[in-house]
């Protein structure tokens, strides 16, 4: 069986973008693949975090994975910082990566733009992500469209390492959802929806209640034309809402457009709010049951143990290949 790895940062409450782009496909994959799902807290500290909030969000994200349909008996669910091999290999890969290629990453450019000072970690984020993936000899990485460039870099670093030292790492492939690969901000539909966006109205969180969801969708930016059709360049707002609708109903965009022929944005938005609320209310219920439970700690303990076993084996091989430490 092939292996998949996917990580999510505990940098805020999950958004419907994270869900439709990544999380939604995980339950389908877990039966078919040897699966590792990781809460990447070391990635989250590349930007400032409140310590108590970070801890809370880490736990919250673990509960959310399971609430979204991950079965802890089938997968390895764990916290990145509890498996030290990740940061060790990340350092080694930083010594394989060049500053130039890291500076070319669009996420780095976006997140550092206009900032007076950015952490070195924000620049070296991709080698850490590469380490996450490569430690488990991953075959496939299921992510949203925004992570394409980072996976490409992961592949390059793996190949460079293999050529320079020894054939240690499997070179992984990317897997992007057709629908929901890139959900945009409700307030600025040319920008992607992000859990760390300061504008609360731009984002629907998986923990929002129906009232709030309705308000956010009703105030989502559209256009003055009033015709429901998919045109990403000229009508990015309504196109984004169509994508969200498709993601939560498994209907095609064409089918939805046909259903709403002759109807206005108001009706469409009312229906969409109801669809999103109904869909995520089941997730929320399971989430709240899990969040405080001891069961969640047991699951994370088991995940930590399993992940450490596999990761330390790969790390040992990589160190040997590079000539780090003694041979034993
Ligand atoms: N808008 C999006 N549409 C579709 N997929 C998305 N993903 C993120 N935003 C969208 C996917 O969600 C997974 C988890 O992402 P992450 O937490 O590792 O980092 P990110 O991509 O930087 O996500 P955010 O929400 O934008 O977080 P912040 O605000 O902290 O940077 C990934 O698979 C990603 O593709």
Distance 194 CA to ligand 1 centre (A): 6
Confidence grade of residue 230 (pLDDT, cut at 50, 70, 90): very high
pLDDT higher than threshold 90 for residue 193: yes
Active site residue 111: yes
- Name residues contacting ligand 1 (CB within 6 A): 7-9, 11-12, 15, 17-18, 20-22, 143-144, 146-147, 180-183, 192-196
Section 275-296 average pLDDT: 95
74, 109, 111, 215: the catalytic one is: 111
Confidence grade of residue 293 (pLDDT, cut at 50, 70, 90): very high
Instruction: Mark 101-117 as b/e (b = at least 16 C-beta within 10 Å).
Output: ebeebeebeebeeeeee
pLDDT higher than threshold 90 for residue 274: yes
Cβ atoms of 99 and 316 within 8 Å: the answer is: no
The continuous run of DSSP H or E covering 4 comes out as strand 3-8
To the nearest whole percent, how much of the chain has pLDDT over 70?
Answer: 100
ipTM associated with this complex: 0.96
Per-residue pLDDT tens for 233-271? Answer: 999 999 999 999 999 999 999 999 999 999 999 999 999
24, 175, 192, 316: the catalytic one is: 192
Give the pLDDT score at 179.
74
Per-residue pLDDT tens for 48-86? Answer: 999 999 999 999 999 999 999 999 999 999 999 999 999
Section 142-149 average pLDDT: 90
The continuous run of DSSP H or E covering 317 comes out as helix 294-322
The continuous run of DSSP H or E covering 76 comes out as strand 76-79
Q: DSSP class of residue 222?
A: -
Cα–Cα distance for residue pair 209/222, rounded to 1 Å: 23
Phi-psi region of 323 (alpha: psi -120 to 50; beta: other; left: phi over 0): left
pLDDT higher than threshold 70 for residue 34: yes
Cβ atoms of 181 and 21 within 8 Å: the answer is: yes
Distance 24 CA to ligand 1 centre (A): 13
Per-residue pLDDT tens for 94-108? Answer: 999 999 999 999 999
Lookup: tokens for 120:
């070195």
Question: How many Cβ atoms sit within 10 Å of the Cβ of residue 312?
Answer: 15
Q: What are the φ and ψ backbone dihedral angles of 293, each rounded to 5 degrees? A: -80, 155
């Amino acid at each position: 069986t092939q292996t998949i790895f996917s990580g999510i940062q505990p940098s805020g409450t999950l958004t419907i973008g994270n869900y439709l782009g990544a999380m939604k496909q995980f339950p389908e994959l877990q039966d078919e693949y040897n699966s590792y799902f990781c809460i990447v807290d070391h990635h989250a500290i590349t930007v400032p975090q409140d310590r108590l909030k970070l801890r809370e969000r880490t736990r919250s994200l673990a509960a959310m994975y399971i609430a979204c349909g991950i079965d802890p008996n089938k997968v390895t669910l764990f916290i990145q910082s509890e498996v030290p091999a990740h940061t060790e290999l990340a350092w080694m890969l930083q010594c394989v990566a060049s500053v130039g290629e890291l500076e070319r990453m669009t996420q780095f450019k976006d997140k550092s733009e206009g900032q007076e000072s950015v952490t070195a970690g924000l620049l070296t984020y991709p080698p850490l992500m590469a380490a996450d993936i490569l430690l488990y000899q991953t075959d496939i990485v299921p992510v949203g469209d925004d992570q394409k460039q980072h996976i490409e870099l992961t592949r390059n670093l793996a190949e460079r390492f293999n050529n320079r030292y020894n054939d240690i790492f499997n070179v992984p492939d990317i897997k992007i959802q057709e629908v929901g690969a890139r959900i945009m901000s409700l307030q600025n539909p040319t920008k992607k929806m992000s859990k760390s966006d300061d504008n609360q109205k731009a984002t629907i969180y998986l923990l929002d209640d129906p009232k709030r969801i309705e308000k956010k969708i009703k105030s989502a930016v559209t256009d003055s034309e009033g015709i429901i059709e998919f045109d990403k360049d000229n009508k990015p707002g309504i196109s984004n809402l169509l994508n969200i609708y498709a993601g939560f109903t498994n209907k095609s965009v064409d089918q939805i457009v046909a259903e709403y022929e002759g109807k206005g944005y108001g009706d469409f938005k009312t229906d969409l709010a109801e669809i999103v609320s109904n869909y995520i209310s089941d997730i929320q219920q399971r989430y709240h049951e899990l969040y405080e439970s001891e069961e969640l700690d047991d699951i994370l303990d088991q995940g930590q143990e399993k992940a450490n076993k596999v990761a330390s084996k790969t790390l040992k091989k990589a160190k040997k290949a590079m000539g780090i430490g003694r041979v034993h």
